[in-house]
Amino acid sequence: MMSDLDASTPRVFLARHGETEWAKIGRYTGTTDIELTPIGVEQVSSTGAHLVGPGRLIDPSRLAHIWVSPRKRAQTTLELLFGSHIDTLRKAEKVTTTEDIAEWNYGEYEGLVESEIREGRKRKGLDVHSAWNIWQDGCECGESAQQVTERLDNLISDIQEIQRPCMDGEKPADVILVAHGHILRAFAKRWLKYSMETPLPMMMSPGAIGVLSYRHRDINDRAFFLGISIPSKE
* pLDDT value of residue 5: 46
* pLDDT value of residue 7: 63
State the DSSP code for 121. H
Compute CA 166 distance to the chain's CA centroid, rounded to the nearest angstrom. 22
Q: Is 133 marked within a binding site?
A: no
Q: Is 106 marked within a binding site?
A: yes
**Residue 210 near residue 224, CB atoms below 8 Å:** yes
Q: What is the pLDDT of residues 11-67, one digit of tens each?
A: 999 999 999 999 999 999 999 999 999 999 999 999 999 999 998 999 999 999 999
State the helix-helix crossing angle for 38-51 and 72-82, rounded to 10 degrees. Answer: 40
* pLDDT value of residue 212: 97
Sequence ranges of the domains in the chain: 12-224
Q: Which CATH class is domain 12-224?
A: alpha beta
The secondary element (H helix, E strand) that includes residue 123 is: helix 114-123
Q: What is the DSSP string of 31-89?
A: S---PBPHHHHHHHHHHHHHHBSTTSSB-GGGEEEEEE-SSHHHHHHHHHHHTTHHHHH
Low-confidence ranges of the chain (pLDDT < 50): 1-5
Q: Which residues are catalytic?
A: 17, 103
* pLDDT value of residue 229: 78
Q: Is 30 marked within a binding site?
A: yes
Compute CA 84 distance to the chain's CA centroid, rounded to the nearest angstrom. 22
C-alpha 150/C-alpha 154 separation (Å) is: 6
